[in-house]
Structure 1
Amino acid sequence: MLNQPTFILVHGAFANSFSFAPLQAELALLGHRSVAVDLPGHGFEATFPASYQAPQDLAALAGEPGGIEGVTLADNAARVIDVLERAKRNGPTVLVAHSRGGITATAVANARPDLVDRIVYVSAWCPVDLEVGGYYAEPEMADVDAGALTADPTALAALKRAFAADLTDDEFRTFLSTFQPDENLDAGTSADRAQATTWGRIPRTYVRLAADASVPPAVQDRMIREADALTPNNPFDVRTLEGSHLRWLVRPIPAAELLADLAGF
């Protein structure tokens, strides 16, 4: 087993390690180790004030202290680096990031490329030419309407269209029940974008989600092009999964098979 890689799974915004449970089960059934990381202030470190529960008191919630207060991108990277250092004792590592988790994965790869044998972005932010906020102002993101995580039916409908249009309402609501109310939105600076001399020497895969309406395929493809231009001798290995931003986590067999195929590098 020492020659088999360990998959290190990094979640996106408002999510946590819980969302990877179905994928981890499928990876295990294919004979692969995996570790789902809770970034600081997530999972059982999250804060769920009484004002967040039903009935919600949004005015009170706005003033509640949260466990994620003060957490930075550097803190996220340090958490993942600690996990990678321990996993590396058992053999190769594959760092897999989803959505906003790609920002953390990129920062990790910039800081400690020696700990990562392959990096996999699954419709994840891989900032190269711009900081993440800059991409939101570009034409590729013009039609994105992410809604909001509230009890308002109109906002929830917009959220479902953006993240899970191809899931059932029950699947969508079940996934939402794993989300948490607070998020660290530190996306770093230009120094945290992909760096050719560190991040750029790691073999990498980008898994496109073909029906993603929150990180549209045009944005995914733009980041792939920019990364390949940065390190033309180490381009992305590009794969595609059908489905929305969340489908691969709710119905994970195709994703598990894809990751298993990458295990041999």
Structure 2
Amino acid sequence: MQPTFVLVHGAFGNSFAFAPLQAELGLLGHRSVAVDLPGHGFAATYPDAYQAPQDAERLAAAPGAIKGVTLADNAAHLIRVLERAKENGPVVLVSHSRGGATATAAANARPDLIDRLVYVSAWCPVDLAVGDYYAEPEMAGVDTASLTLALAGNPAELGVLRVNFRTADPGALAALKAAFLADGTDDEFRAFLNTFQPDENLDAGTAADRARAATWGRVPRTYVRLADDASLPLALQDRLIREGDALTPDNPYDVRTLPGSHLKWLVDPAPAARLLGELAPPTG
């Protein structure tokens, strides 16, 4: 039976940005579905203060629907998608960036629904919770301070992480481009920025949500390294691979590498589509 690629976005993302990749997969004869996690896509909040002319004060205080959404909510939603996809044949679960935490939680709970896990520069925490890796040496070069230039409101008061991706602040825009799409044109960068939603939930998981050998560890898995990623550096990607291999040495990662930044594989998706096609289980 033909496999289904289930695609899971990262922070502030949604299914929309996967459209070019899905087109390439479709032209190669592959079936795919892009997931909107709870509070994403058409369920996202776009306060009227986010529209031009922006009202910074109201934007910083407007409520967001994603408040209170947890990693467990994300995983439960993804599992429901996987259950439906599995009815039609093998499932390849592909996650990007923060979406890897959701994929890991789903694989911890229901490894029977997944025929292959694919992480594309994604979080697959093993030794630490996701948030704790930011204090590790591999993340030392990430310019997290400059990224706060676009922050809107106090996350502790709002209950959401809100970023003004429609900012005109040249410093904030430069920081975002350097972090996510330094190898793209300014137009590509702004186009991608306009697919982002302003709000993200605060729960990236705890130590209890790390990969488990007995469940997650028995699913065949691939890690696609993004060689020029500045937001999830190659050193951190390699550390996550090593930790996963140490957890289940009899089921190590199949490691692949694509050139480019954190978002380049979605802006120029043909190489990624070909790579994913190579990972599809054989049809029968």
- TM-score normalized by the length of structure 1: 0.97
Q: 1: distance between equivalents of 2:53 and 2:139?
A: 34
Residue 157 (str. 1) matches residue 174 (str. 2): yes
Cα deviation code 1:53-110 (max 9, x no counterpart): 1222222112211111111111100111011000001000000000000000000000
Per-residue deviation, 1:130: 0.6
Specify the alignment match of 1:135 in structure 2: 133
Residue 85 (str. 1) matches residue 83 (str. 2): yes
Paired residues in the alignment total 263
- TM-score normalized by the length of structure 2: 0.91
- Preserved contact between residue 44 and residue 197 of structure 2 (Cα < 8 Å): yes
Q: 2: distance between equivalents of 1:56 and 1:205?
A: 43
The one of 19, 36, 40 equivalent to 2:17 is: 19
Residue 144 (str. 1) matches residue 159 (str. 2): no
Considering only aligned residues, what root-mean-square deviation do their CA atoms show, in Å? Answer: 0.9
Residue 118 (str. 1) matches residue 116 (str. 2): yes
Aligned pairs for 1:109-258 within 5 A: 109-146=107-144, 147=147, 148=150, 149=165, 150-258=167-275
Aligned pairs for 1:71-82 within 5 A: 71-82=69-80
5+ residue gaps in structure 2? Answer: 151-164
Query: Matched residues, percent identical?
Result: 78
- Preserved contact between residue 200 and residue 231 of structure 1 (Cα < 8 Å): yes
- Preserved contact between residue 90 and residue 281 of structure 2 (Cα < 8 Å): no
Deviation larger for 217-226 or 180-189: 180-189
Cα deviation code 1:172-223 (max 9, x no counterpart): 0000001111001201211110000000000000000000000000000000
Per-residue deviation, 1:151: 2.6
Q: 2: distance between equivalents of 1:195 and 1:185?
A: 23
Q: 2: distance between equivalents of 1:163 and 1:31?
A: 30
- Preserved contact between residue 95 and residue 119 of structure 2 (Cα < 8 Å): yes
Q: 2: distance between equivalents of 1:224 and 1:163?
A: 21
Poorly superposed stretches of 4+, deviation over 4 Å: none
- Preserved contact between residue 131 and residue 190 of structure 1 (Cα < 8 Å): yes
Instruction: Look up the SS of the partner of 2:122 in the other structure.
Output: coil
